[in-house]
Protein backbone atom coordinates (compact mmCIF):
# COMPACT_ATOMS: atom_id res chain seq x y z
CA UNK A 1 0.00 0.00 0.00
CA UNK A 2 1.41 3.39 -0.98
CA UNK A 3 2.15 6.06 1.59
CA UNK A 4 -0.11 9.08 1.86
CA UNK A 5 2.62 11.36 0.54
CA UNK A 6 2.39 9.67 -2.85
CA UNK A 7 -1.01 11.29 -3.43
CA UNK A 8 0.19 14.80 -2.60
CA UNK A 9 1.47 17.31 -5.14
CA UNK A 10 5.25 16.94 -5.35
CA UNK A 11 7.69 19.77 -4.86
CA UNK A 12 9.57 21.28 -7.84
CA UNK A 13 12.58 19.16 -8.73
CA UNK A 14 11.09 16.06 -7.11
CA UNK A 15 12.76 12.80 -8.16
CA UNK A 16 11.59 9.22 -7.78
CA UNK A 17 12.91 7.74 -4.49
CA UNK A 18 13.95 4.58 -6.37
CA UNK A 19 16.23 6.63 -8.66
CA UNK A 20 17.73 8.60 -5.77
CA UNK A 21 18.24 5.43 -3.70
CA UNK A 22 20.11 3.84 -6.60
CA UNK A 23 22.38 6.89 -6.90
CA UNK A 24 23.11 7.40 -3.19
CA UNK A 25 23.82 5.35 -0.04
CA UNK A 26 20.21 5.88 1.10
CA UNK A 27 17.44 3.28 0.93
CA UNK A 28 14.04 4.04 -0.59
CA UNK A 29 12.53 4.38 2.88
CA UNK A 30 15.27 6.79 3.89
CA UNK A 31 14.80 8.90 0.76
CA UNK A 32 11.09 9.15 1.56
CA UNK A 33 11.96 10.17 5.14
CA UNK A 34 14.31 12.81 3.74
CA UNK A 35 11.45 14.08 1.57
CA UNK A 36 9.43 14.77 4.72
CA UNK A 37 12.42 16.62 6.18
CA UNK A 38 12.89 18.51 2.90
CA UNK A 39 9.24 19.62 2.89
CA UNK A 40 9.64 21.04 6.40
CA UNK A 41 12.84 22.88 5.57
CA UNK A 42 11.54 24.20 2.24
CA UNK A 43 8.44 25.73 3.83
CA UNK A 44 10.08 27.24 6.92
CA UNK A 45 10.19 30.73 5.36
CA UNK A 46 9.02 30.49 1.74
CA UNK A 47 6.36 27.86 1.15
CA UNK A 48 7.36 26.99 -2.40
CA UNK A 49 8.86 23.50 -2.10
CA UNK A 50 12.43 24.78 -2.58
CA UNK A 51 15.13 25.44 0.00
CA UNK A 52 16.32 29.04 -0.17
CA UNK A 53 19.58 30.22 1.38
CA UNK A 54 17.73 31.84 4.29
CA UNK A 55 15.99 28.53 5.04
CA UNK A 56 19.30 26.70 4.80
CA UNK A 57 20.85 29.15 7.29
CA UNK A 58 17.85 28.73 9.56
CA UNK A 59 18.18 24.93 9.49
CA UNK A 60 21.91 25.05 10.25
CA UNK A 61 22.06 27.90 12.74
CA UNK A 62 18.47 28.64 13.79
CA UNK A 63 19.12 32.11 12.45
CA UNK A 64 18.39 33.06 8.86
CA UNK A 65 20.41 36.28 9.10
CA UNK A 66 23.66 34.75 10.33
CA UNK A 67 26.14 34.92 7.50
CA UNK A 68 28.85 32.28 7.38
CA UNK A 69 31.25 31.45 4.57
CA UNK A 70 31.14 27.72 5.40
CA UNK A 71 27.33 27.63 5.19
CA UNK A 72 27.35 29.71 2.00
CA UNK A 73 29.77 27.28 0.32
CA UNK A 74 27.76 24.24 1.43
CA UNK A 75 24.62 25.85 0.00
CA UNK A 76 26.37 26.66 -3.29
CA UNK A 77 27.55 23.04 -3.65
CA UNK A 78 24.11 21.63 -2.83
CA UNK A 79 22.67 23.98 -5.47
CA UNK A 80 23.91 21.81 -8.34
CA UNK A 81 21.84 23.64 -10.99
CA UNK A 82 23.11 27.00 -9.70
CA UNK A 83 19.70 28.58 -9.76
CA UNK A 84 19.79 29.97 -6.22
CA UNK A 85 17.63 27.27 -4.60
CA UNK A 86 17.99 23.61 -3.59
CA UNK A 87 15.56 21.14 -5.11
CA UNK A 88 14.72 17.77 -3.54
CA UNK A 89 16.92 15.74 -5.87
CA UNK A 90 19.87 18.06 -5.24
CA UNK A 91 19.25 17.85 -1.49
CA UNK A 92 19.37 14.04 -1.39
CA UNK A 93 22.28 13.62 -3.82
CA UNK A 94 24.41 16.20 -1.98
CA UNK A 95 23.48 14.91 1.47
CA UNK A 96 24.48 11.44 0.31
CA UNK A 97 28.12 12.55 0.28
CA UNK A 98 27.90 13.01 4.07
CA UNK A 99 26.58 9.47 4.60
CA UNK A 100 28.99 7.24 6.58
CA UNK A 101 28.90 4.70 3.73
CA UNK A 102 29.65 7.23 0.97
CA UNK A 103 32.99 6.62 -0.84
CA UNK A 104 35.84 8.54 0.77
CA UNK A 105 36.83 9.78 -2.72
CA UNK A 106 33.47 11.57 -2.95
CA UNK A 107 34.05 13.23 0.42
CA UNK A 108 37.55 14.33 -0.57
CA UNK A 109 36.26 15.76 -3.85
CA UNK A 110 33.40 17.60 -2.14
CA UNK A 111 35.79 19.05 0.46
CA UNK A 112 38.15 20.21 -2.31
CA UNK A 113 35.32 22.09 -4.01
CA UNK A 114 34.29 23.48 -0.62
CA UNK A 115 37.72 25.03 -0.06
CA UNK A 116 38.14 26.10 -3.70
CA UNK A 117 36.17 29.30 -3.09
CA UNK A 118 36.97 31.01 -6.38
CA UNK A 119 36.43 27.84 -8.41
CA UNK A 120 39.81 28.04 -10.11
CA UNK A 121 40.51 24.32 -9.80
CA UNK A 122 43.11 24.98 -7.11
CA UNK A 123 43.03 25.79 -3.40
CA UNK A 124 45.02 28.97 -2.85
CA UNK A 125 46.49 30.00 0.48
CA UNK A 126 44.02 32.82 1.02
CA UNK A 127 41.10 30.46 0.34
CA UNK A 128 42.43 28.01 2.90
CA UNK A 129 42.78 30.80 5.46
CA UNK A 130 39.25 32.06 4.81
CA UNK A 131 37.80 28.60 5.34
CA UNK A 132 39.85 28.02 8.51
CA UNK A 133 38.55 31.32 9.90
CA UNK A 134 34.96 30.40 8.97
CA UNK A 135 35.24 26.96 10.59
CA UNK A 136 36.78 28.44 13.75
CA UNK A 137 33.99 31.01 13.88
CA UNK A 138 31.37 28.28 13.53
CA UNK A 139 33.06 26.28 16.32
CA UNK A 140 33.21 29.38 18.54
CA UNK A 141 36.97 28.88 18.85
CA UNK A 142 39.08 31.98 19.31
CA UNK A 143 42.72 31.79 18.22
CA UNK A 144 45.24 34.57 17.79
CA UNK A 145 46.17 35.74 14.30
CA UNK A 146 49.66 34.32 14.78
CA UNK A 147 48.35 30.84 15.61
CA UNK A 148 46.00 30.91 12.62
CA UNK A 149 48.89 31.88 10.33
CA UNK A 150 50.96 28.98 11.68
CA UNK A 151 48.09 26.53 11.08
CA UNK A 152 47.59 27.78 7.52
CA UNK A 153 51.33 27.84 6.74
CA UNK A 154 51.92 24.30 8.03
CA UNK A 155 48.91 22.93 6.23
CA UNK A 156 49.84 24.62 2.98
CA UNK A 157 53.50 23.64 3.04
CA UNK A 158 52.53 20.03 3.75
CA UNK A 159 49.88 19.87 1.02
CA UNK A 160 51.60 21.89 -1.73
CA UNK A 161 54.03 19.15 -2.77
CA UNK A 162 54.82 20.82 -6.10
CA UNK A 163 55.72 24.06 -4.37
CA UNK A 164 53.86 26.17 -6.93
CA UNK A 165 51.85 28.15 -4.38
CA UNK A 166 48.57 26.31 -4.92
CA UNK A 167 47.02 22.94 -4.09
CA UNK A 168 45.56 20.92 -6.95
CA UNK A 169 43.07 18.08 -6.51
CA UNK A 170 45.70 15.33 -6.56
CA UNK A 171 47.80 17.10 -3.93
CA UNK A 172 44.66 17.62 -1.85
CA UNK A 173 43.73 13.94 -2.06
CA UNK A 174 47.22 12.85 -1.01
CA UNK A 175 47.19 15.34 1.89
CA UNK A 176 43.76 14.26 3.16
CA UNK A 177 44.65 10.57 2.98
CA UNK A 178 47.51 11.35 5.37
CA UNK A 179 45.34 13.59 7.53
CA UNK A 180 41.80 12.11 7.47
CA UNK A 181 40.68 14.52 10.21
CA UNK A 182 40.52 17.15 7.44
CA UNK A 183 37.30 15.57 6.20
CA UNK A 184 35.89 14.50 9.57
CA UNK A 185 33.04 16.99 9.16
CA UNK A 186 32.16 15.34 5.83
CA UNK A 187 30.49 12.45 7.68
CA UNK A 188 27.22 12.77 9.59
CA UNK A 189 26.74 9.51 11.56
CA UNK A 190 22.98 9.97 12.01
CA UNK A 191 22.46 9.68 8.26
CA UNK A 192 23.18 5.97 8.60
CA UNK A 193 19.71 5.50 10.03
CA UNK A 194 17.35 8.28 9.08
CA UNK A 195 14.41 6.40 10.60
CA UNK A 196 16.05 6.66 14.02
CA UNK A 197 17.27 10.22 13.57
CA UNK A 198 13.86 11.34 12.37
CA UNK A 199 11.39 8.80 13.87
CA UNK A 200 8.37 10.95 13.04
CA UNK A 201 9.24 10.66 9.35
CA UNK A 202 9.10 6.85 9.18
CA UNK A 203 6.53 5.67 6.67
CA UNK A 204 5.68 2.67 4.57
CA UNK A 205 7.60 2.73 1.32
CA UNK A 206 5.78 2.46 -1.99
CA UNK A 207 8.57 0.20 -3.20
CA UNK A 208 10.29 -2.33 -0.99
CA UNK A 209 14.07 -1.83 -0.82
CA UNK A 210 14.57 -5.41 -1.97
CA UNK A 211 13.12 -4.46 -5.35
CA UNK A 212 15.98 -2.14 -6.24
DSSP assignment of the chain, as one string? ---GGGGSPPPTT---HHHHHHHSS--HHHHHHHHHHHHHHTTSSS-SSSB-HHHHHHHHHS-TT---HHHHHHHHHH-TT-SSSB-HHHHHHHHHTTSTTS-HHHHHHHHHHHH-TT-SSSEEHHHHHHHHHHHHHHTT----HHHHHHHHHHHHHHH-TT-SSEE-HHHHHHHHHH-GGGGGGG--GGGGGHHHHSGGG----SS-GGG-
Residue 161 domain-assigned (yes or no): yes
Same domain flag for 74 and 125: no
pTM of the shown model: 0.81
Domains of the chain: total: 2
- Are 116 and 94 part of one and the same domain? no
Instruction: Identify the domain containing residue 138 by its residue range.
Output: 112-185
Q: Are both 40 and 66 inside the same structural domain?
A: yes
For 2-38, the pLDDT digits (tens) are: 444 445 678 888 999 999 999 999 999 999 999 999 9
In a domain? residue 202: no
Do 49 and 88 lie in one domain? The reply is yes
Residues 83 and 118 in one domain: no
Task: Tell me the CATH number at 92.
Answer: 1.10.238.10
Q: What is the mean pLDDT of residues 150-173?
A: 94
Tell which of 98, 124, 152 closes a domain.
Answer: 98
Amino acid sequence: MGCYCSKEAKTPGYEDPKILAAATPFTVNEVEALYELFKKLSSSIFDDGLIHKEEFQLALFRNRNRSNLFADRIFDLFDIKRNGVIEFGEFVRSLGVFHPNAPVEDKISFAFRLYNLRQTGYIEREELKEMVLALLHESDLVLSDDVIEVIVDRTYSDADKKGDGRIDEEEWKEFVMKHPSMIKNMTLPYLKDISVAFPSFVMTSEVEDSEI
